[in-house]
Amino acid sequence: MTKALFIVDVQNDFTEGGALAVEGGDAVAERITEFVSAHADDYALVVASRDWHHPDHDNGGHFAVEGEPDFVDTWPAHCVAGTPGAEYDPGLDTAAVTHHVKKGQGVPAYSVFEGTTDDGRTVAELLAERGILDVDIAGIATDYCVRASALDAIEHGRRVRILTDLVAGVAPASSDAALAELAHAGAELAVTQP
């Protein structure tokens, strides 16, 4: 097998009731769980990423410490390491995850390629070690971290497929624009359920 699945940032702070809640996040968590339970054996790697920001720290200007966040470069505090908001959504079963990646540890980070495993390996290293050529991507948010992760995977020479029924975005217009951009960059847009 030369295929990997990226599960991007399916965390409590990005699903309903969280600091940066995305509508449909809980449903996406449950649909990813169903998909993985049926298809885990299709993948050599299942990589789940989490934002993992430092507490009491602006994380390289990522958190709006003074004034209101602009929701482009600055954000309310979210996914702070060790808090419930940073944990995976309870609807996401991580039993089949082979590698957990934490990103944004003190700096802004959107792509899974900016994170590391607990033993310090990067996603690029994981893909190279296993000879992974194809990457399927699911998660949150379509218009931010899913988009950034997919663009980086393409830049790293991988064939990318966005599982469009397993993503949720911040807003419909920006999510549609992100998917159009990804398709233009060479990603395949696919649906897991007919």
Which of 46, 43, 53 minimizes the C-alpha distance to 13? Answer: 53
Residues 38, 49 contacting (CB under 8 angstroms): no
**Edge-first strand listing for the sheet containing 99-103:** 99-103, 45-51, 3-8, 134-140, 159-168, 188-190
Alpha helices (H) in 90-191, listed in sequence order:
123-130, 147-155, 172-185
Does the active-site annotation cover 103?
A: yes
Residues 59, 2 contacting (CB under 8 angstroms): no
Q: Find the catalytic residue in 3, 9, 89, 136.
A: 9
| 156: Cβ contacts below 8 Å, ≥ 6 apart | 113, 124, 127
Length of the chain: 194
Interatomic CA distance for residues 48 and 137, integer angstroms: 10
Q: Find the catalytic residue in 103, 134, 143, 152.
A: 103
Does the active-site annotation cover 9?
A: yes
| 41: Cβ contacts below 8 Å, ≥ 6 apart | none
Query: Which sequence positions are flagged as catalytic?
Result: 9, 103, 145
